[in-house]
Amino acid sequence: MNSDDVEILVSQVTNSTKMDANLLQQFIESVASHKIELGAVEKWLRAVHANGISVEETSQLTKGMMHSGEVISWLDNSLVVDKHSTGGVGDKMSLMLAPILAACGLKVPMLAGRGLGHTGGTIDKLESIPGFNCSLSPVEMKKQVEEISCCIAAQNDAIAPADGLLYAIRDVTDTIDSLPLITASIISKKAAEGLGALVLDVKCGAAAFMQRQSDAEDLAKSMVGAAKRLGINTVAQITQMDYPIGRFVGNSLEVLGSIKVLQNNGSADTLEIVSFQCQELLVMTKLADSPELAREMISGVLADGTALEKFKQMCVYQGVRPDIAQQLVQEPEIVLPQSAMVTEIKSEESGYVSEIDAMALAVIARRHGAGRFAIDDSIIPEIGFEILPNRGDYISEGEVWLAFHHNDDIDEDTMIELNQAIHLSGKPIQQTGRLISKIS
């Protein structure tokens, strides 16, 4: 596609007239095959970012991007499901959701990403398990899901390749935060898995990309609309993201926290969120007649060890030695990488824990190697935090509230930031759940 054709699309977007459908389709194909000038793509992205596009155009863009690569097809996709989260601190849900749902009878061909900004990525977390291979082709994903009902693979060039280039250019042109572009990017990849049902977790709060509830709901509506137009039964849950999720933050530490949940011995907060998502999908696919029955199914596969066994099976299918996978699910601390130092942070006062600043912890962990600053940075899997009190717990002055797993020395400024990351109240805290609202 030549630059003049892109110019037509750019002026249509700028003048808020409908983009020519054939030109838009050619544009997507040229982006996917990299047969287009990068400057022209950049111009188009800037125009969409500045002016927005209609719901119908977003839908066409999403569908075009979905079909720019392979689409996994299933004989019957009514039980084929997945979840997407917009990213949180300590958000380890995918690691548990896939094996729990597989153990309940659903199929989960999950594509996942690496860490983005201050939030961790499922692929980075899984790769902290020795031998775990996330590089699966669509054919390998399908085969594994047919055999054991779940897989978690890294996004790759075979699936929605148009997104690969668009995302990379958005990243360097400051055009990431555009509703239609986020919608098309996320939903095109999920739709390429051939799903029957999808649950979206749209995080909202100080440590989320969307800080205001109205922005989170607008994004949720846009994604739900685009996915439904592609025939995927979709529900979005808006969930609170100020306080870190569960007890563990950091790549290998979140694997540890996930295994504890699968051992039926994990944090109640983590279990609450993953249960919402699993419950929604079990009801949407009619595998459960009610949320209560879905809840019983989830409790059942956690209590009898079948979800943990599924996780182990997934590890072995994806390259982990069987003896290591066995030890991982029994004694995860022995298998997972450990930091050189663990520093305990003590509370300077007494009181009820009203807030723990998830953003502050994420920023510190990233600085110590848990996250990336540039796309080709490597991460240090063992860096992170263990948070000891739950929100609302009473802690006394001198009591340890945080264990920082780190390899480099902690400087004075970081120590001050850590001490300021906890907020205490003199009065008991009113407990609130994570779920803020639902869009369907």
Residue 297 · residue 290 · CB < 8 Å:
no
Q: Is the dihedral of CA 55, 238, 110, 287 positive or negative?
A: negative
- Residue 32: CB atoms within 10 A of its CB come to 22
67 an active-site residue? no
**3-state SS, residue 224:** helix
Number of residues in contact with ligand URA under rule CB under 6 A: 5
- Residue 278 CB, shortest distance to ligand URA, in Å, is 22
Catalytic residue among 84, 107, 312, 368: 84
Residue nearest to ligand URA (CB): 185
Cβ closest to ligand URA, residue 88 vs residue 389: 88
Residues 57/180, Cβ–Cβ less than 8 Å: yes
63, 92, 118, 189: which is the annotated catalytic residue?
189
- The residue among 185 and 239 lying less far from ligand URA, judged by its C-beta, is 185
Which phi and psi (to 5°) does residue 248 adopt? Answer: -120, 140
Q: Which of 425, 391, 179, 385 is nearest to 269 (CA)?
A: 391
Active site residue 185: yes
8-state DSSP, 235: E
For residue 182, the minimal CB distance to ligand URA (Å) is: 4
Closest CA to 63 of 53, 73, 72, 71: 71
- Choice among 43, 63, 170, 366 that is catalytic: 170
Q: Is 163 a catalytic residue?
A: yes
Q: Which is nearer to ligand URA, 68 or 313 (CB)?
A: 68
Q: Which of 41, 150, 151, 182 binds ligand URA (CB under 6 A)?
A: 182
The CA-atom distances, in angstroms, between 234 and each of 187, 363, 435 are 11, 32, 17
With 0-12 CB in 10 A as exposed, 13-18 as middle and 19+ as buried, what is 148?
A: middle
Q: Shortest gap between Cβ of 202 and ligand URA (angstroms)?
A: 11
In the set 186, 238, 307, 336, which binds ligand URA (CB under 6 A)?
186
Can residue 185 be called a binding residue for ligand URA (CB under 6 A)?
yes
User: One symbol per residue from 105 to 144: x for binding ligand URA (CB under 6 A), - otherwise; what is it?
Assistant: --------x-------------------------------
Residues annotated as catalytic (active site), given as ranges: 84, 163, 170, 185, 189
Binding residues for ligand URA, rule: CB under 6 A, are 113, 167, 182, 185-186
